[in-house]
Structure 1
Amino acid sequence: MEYRRVPAVPGGDSFLGEKGPTEGSLILAVLPYVIMIILLPIGSFFFTKSYVFEDILNYGDTTANVYAAICAVVVLHVLLAMFIYKAFKESPVRGLKQD
């Protein structure tokens, strides 16, 4: 399978030029975060609900659901922050033009 370069914005000035990322490299960079953002909050919800809040802390079903949902939202926000940090860290900074 041959990957082609992702084109620059039409009419725009691409700071990557012809050395832009390929479709495959973009997919490989984003795919782990997509999988984690889908699976980890759901897994953390059921894990914390069943084992932490119901078994260890002996909370009722409704209370365990609320606290487990809060944990899942926190996990989701941490993953989104990691993704945003990685996106900003890896993008090259455009320098000032020297005339």
Structure 2
Amino acid sequence: MEYKGVSSIPGGDSFLGDKGPTDESLFVVVLPYVLLIILLPIGSFFMTKSFIFEDFLEYKDTTANVYAAICAVVILHILLALFIYKAFKESAVKGAKQD
């Protein structure tokens, strides 16, 4: 049984008529976020632990580790929220109907 509601549109691979993103374009868009999500929380952990909590506020090592970890987790959640926001924003633009 063939579905007759939507026919294939010439010039495209999907029924919407677009070919979709290429692997290269996805890699270029996602790579900066991946690097930020990996490097920024780790860097912020060591920077805040060393400079803010141990040197400036003079906390002990264990207390400084806990507060630095909290800072790293907050930064990670902010970066993930930005990534998800950008993904939804782009999908809404690409999914918009154009007549």
Between the two structures, name the one with larger relative contact order (CA 8 Å, sep ≥ 6): 1
* Worse-superposed segment, 20-29 or 85-94: 85-94
User: How many aligned positions are there?
Assistant: 83
1:63 aligns with 2:63: yes
The Cα RMSD (Å) is 1.6
- Percentage identity across aligned positions? 70
Please list every run of 5 or more consecutive structure 2 residues that lacks an aligned counterpart in the other structure. 1-12
Amino acid at match of 1:28: V
1:85 aligns with 2:71: no
- Residue by residue, what CA displacement relative to the aligned partner does 1:26-63 show, whole Å, maximum 9, x if unpaired? 00000000000000000000000000000000000000
After TM superposition, where is structure 1 displaced by more than 3 Å over at least 4 residues in a row?
none
Give the distance between the partners of 1:83 and 1:47, measured in 2 at CA. Answer: 23
With normalisation by structure 2, the TM-score equals 0.77
Give the distance between the partners of 2:56 and 2:38, measured in 1 at CA. Answer: 26
With normalisation by structure 1, the TM-score equals 0.77
Give the distance between the partners of 2:23 and 2:96, measured in 1 at CA. Answer: 22
Please list every run of 5 or more consecutive structure 1 residues that lacks an aligned counterpart in the other structure. 1-7
Amino acid at match of 1:87: A
Cα deviation, residue 19, structure 1: 3.3
